[in-house]
Structure 1
């Protein structure tokens, strides 16, 4: 028989398995059992001691062959915490739960598919490898995640550097332009200064010449004063010279001095210098918004819940809301989100848009009018334009007003003259709002017809895109960055993003808007304002 090892012992017998405890004492004794928990072999004598110790009584004992034959891998060693640390060696397939024999007897006595775990695994050799492979797959996924996110950091750093370089390049161009303008201004100052200096120096030279002539004549006459007769002759001979010099002095005395060079800043640059300069806007693509809070825009004089049909953001960041329910315009501070002024219209407004020079236009569909207001911390009524059609949607681009009724779009000058009309072949009398892209001159139309959505027209009025699957019953529009456009859906309760050609890009807000009818976007702080329908609050979302 093969010995399990050379042992210093008086016994000459050899055994297949030696008692681990005896072996430690150089005693050569044959093992009877293998303890799974101790991972040791025990002879019959040591086994008695092992069985009497309370801490070892619950250990799993197997035949001595288990330690070598590989049977150990099929024997559970986990103890049950519910039942005196019995071995967890049973499996209920019906409930996919494991437990000790007592657990199975108590909790799964009616279950049909209950197995002793070692026996269960004999016929399902792939269970453990598959689980190990599953863990390996998870491990590989996390390694891939770490690599992907690490690569993302590298790409983000490169992206950051590119954007900073873009800013620096633009700032350098701006700096070069300013320096060029500075050189031109200095050159003009120098030119004007040199002209004045040339004239003054010419006058000084003339004065010196006249002075020299006078001094020569004066010296000659003074040299003859000892002889009155000669002095009289000298006086008469040089009288004309003295008279000429005297006349020259009168002319010189009339020369006006005090001219100074003065530089006047161009009003456009003076206006820029008063305000905080902004090179551009920082945004994260694709657009992602986070809800911030709601702001109350109800006035004490309002008799109904606010129902905003149109809104726009002014250059100073303030916001104008056209409250159809209460027949007024509300001017809201874009940062404090408080109403700072309002104007009672006496009739229901529909849409509103920003014009140039701090002006806004608001459509009054029931009166066939567009009223123009100047906005400077307050609303100042200026004038109104009257038309033969009901004024609903309004937009402004390149000194031209675009106004729609329910079925057509009219291009108008600022004095109300109609320049061009787009016929109603693109909608069935259901236009709500319109928007014109300054980048592409595309015209966006919110069509309330069943099955229609946002219609994008070319500058000639031809249909280029129809977006109907991603938005239902669209209403308001708002300009985004890079010529892109936001549109809100009343039925779909969402906000979508379209590019300047009218192509759908993505849904930026997908729920919780309470049937929006208007929205506006502040490019300065990345805030999107969406009034709640028939409510007094405006939802505020911030660009992440």
Structure 2
């Protein structure tokens, strides 16, 4: 992006020279451009053309005398954009793919758009096409998105404060209950504290991850808005900034909708194990003294009961206390599931496990379904989707289904050889959660209604309440 004092080169050319040296003009000096670079589409004076030729990237450019250039050439070709590519920092964003309505450098086009038919050099595209760049409406959208993101950030910060406050309250309850029993229960107290610390740390990390994504998206929105605000008369520059701003808006809208869907914190409660206190109240002493200094059966029974307890109580996330946990985590490990074509950090919305151990992941932020190897959990294949996926479920050994809420569609993905979409079901609602049973699909909307579909896409029925008249669930 050009900086410094701007000069009306059209006015100067009428009064002083036919054409001006572009490098001198950027420095605020008026020098006649006697040389013309075919690749840069710029005029240079005798001194500046030597500097131009010494730049490694410009060493092979073709330079002509001004007399060899057709009349009007200086105004016929717009200047190339100065914006650098995020992926290939040594390249400028000077290419446009009309098929995907996306801009990038020449390397991006060679890698990601090599099969696209309509890719253009941006100055030539602007020269040959009538394109009106409107940035005012986009600036308004960027400002609105920034405000929405700010509200989401404040909400997550408030959730974190509430979570930490609840953590302190639960720790206080644990210590208070500990004092009601006996000073000899230090081990149970420590176990209870460790459990709440672990649970809160897990929830706190989840909020921190969401905050990082929102803050990063907010930064991109602010950057895009600043670039549009400071854009000069270089239409190529404005074109690039508009496209990058539109991309930033699309990404931000995804995260905003994602943040509204995902639950921020769990409602955790501490339920003390009152049986410990009851057993202690029933005991008159911890044991009996005998002349042989041996423990009585009653004392051994009390110690056995305490040793069988792991904590002072149980932690509940739904205000209910369960006798035992059905599942217990024995360990965890992180795996890298990002592929080269991913433009964002992976955000796994859902997953399903096939009968052979293969795992299918729904990557929300990169609009992909990814297949993981059943042994080393590396990505062996993936399938692009038109927008962010939400719920994936298994249909059979060679096929899965996934919901795409923004498109109101369910995609059927074949797992034979390369992953690809084989069929789609169109719905008239934002389809989120998905399940398959008895040859039928059960699809939920954004409220509490479940729709039953056949695999061919015929709607059979819908229901939103159980037999007692209560809602089935809330998303």
Same fold flag (TM > 0.5): no
Taking structure 1 as the reference length, the TM-score comes to 0.28
Structure that is richer in helix per residue:
2
Larger-gyration structure (1/2)? 1
